[in-house]
């Protein structure tokens, strides 16, 4: 399942129905590396985000708004790789805290435009700068890994796009 191969997992081409056990180890799964690294990031950020009173998803939503303010829910979702079912409750929460505004677009009442309030913008401007002072430990490989993982993500989404599961 996790795209594994005799060569190396997560790019399998095997066809037989027997899965050799030496291959199917979690430590060989790229998906599991990503999955567990995501858990690890969440835990590393938690104490910092707690001080801001934000969850990780709330935080990245606000960062996306600093890049481009007054976006629709859909446009924001494209940047965050989330849809309105996930985003709407989060945005409502941020609105209730007073960090963002949500208002129907008068030109197209189906759309909701989201923008930072001064308070919200101020929060990010005074944001904990040197947080996680290189807890990644990646050193000079940092940029390379960042790019590779981004490419991985884009490739996966592309392939998911072309094989739209069911329906």
Partner DNA sequence: CACGATTAAATCGGACACGATATAAATCAA
Partner DNA sequence: TTGATTTATATCGTGTCCGATTTAATCGTG
Site for DNA in 25-44 (CB under 7 A): 35, 39, 42-43
- Quick note: the x/- pattern for its own copies over 108-147, rule CB under 8 A, is ----------------xxxxxxxxxxxxxxx--xxxxxx-
CB of 104 to its own copies, least distance (A): 26
Selected binder of DNA within 91, 100, 116, 123 (CB under 7 A): 91
How many CA atoms within 13 Å lie on the side-chain side of 107?
Answer: 2
Task: State the binding partner of 30 from DNA, its own copies, none, CB within 5 to 8 A by kind.
Answer: its own copies
User: Which residues have C-beta within 8 Å of that of residue 132, sequence separation ≥ 6?
Assistant: 44, 45, 48
Q: Which of residues 54-83 bind its own copies (CB under 8 A)?
A: 56, 59-60, 63-64, 66-67, 79-82
Verify binding: residue 9, its own copies, rule CB under 8 A.
yes
Q: Which of residues 144-163 bind its own copies (CB under 8 A)?
A: 144-146, 148-160, 163
Verify binding: residue 81, DNA, rule CB under 7 A.
yes
Q: Which of residues 52-71 bind DNA (CB under 7 A)?
A: 55-58
Beta strands 71-72 and 100-105, pairing class: unpaired
Other Cβ atoms closer than 10 A to 89 = 10
Please identify which residue in the block is written with the tokens 């807890």: 135
Closest residue by Cα to residue 120 from 54, 27, 75, 42: 54
- How buried is 71 (Cβ within 10 angstroms: 0-12 exposed, 13-18 middle, 19+ buried)? buried
Selected binder of DNA within 89, 119, 128, 151 (CB under 7 A): 89
Which CB atom, from 6 or from 103, has the smaller least distance to its own copies?
6
Verify binding: residue 46, its own copies, rule CB under 8 A.
yes
Verify binding: residue 85, its own copies, rule CB under 8 A.
no
Assigned token pair, 4:
């594994």
Dihedral in degrees, nearest 10, Cα atoms 157, 160, 162, 165: -160
């Amino acid at each position: 399942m996790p795209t594994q191969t005799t060569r190396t997992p997560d790019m399998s081409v095997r066809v037989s129905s027997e899965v050799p056990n030496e291959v199917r180890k979690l430590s060989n799964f790229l998906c599991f590396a990503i999955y567990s690294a995501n858990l690890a990031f969440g835990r590393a950020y938690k104490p910092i985000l707690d001080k801001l009173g934000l969850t990780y998803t709330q935080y990245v939503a606000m960062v996306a708004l600093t890049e481009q303010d007054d976006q629709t829910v859909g446009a924001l979702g494209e940047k965050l790789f989330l849809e309105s079912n996930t985003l709407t409750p989060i945005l409502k929460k941020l609105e209730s805290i007073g960090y963002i505004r949500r208002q129907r677009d008068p030109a197209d009442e189906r759309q909701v435009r989201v923008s930072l309030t001064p308070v919200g913008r101020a929060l990010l401007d005074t944001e904990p700068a040197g947080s996680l002072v290189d807890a990644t430990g990646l050193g000079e490989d940092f940029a390379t890994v960042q790019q590779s993982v981004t490419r991985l993500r884009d490739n996966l989404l592309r392939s998911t796009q072309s094989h739209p599961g069911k329906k």
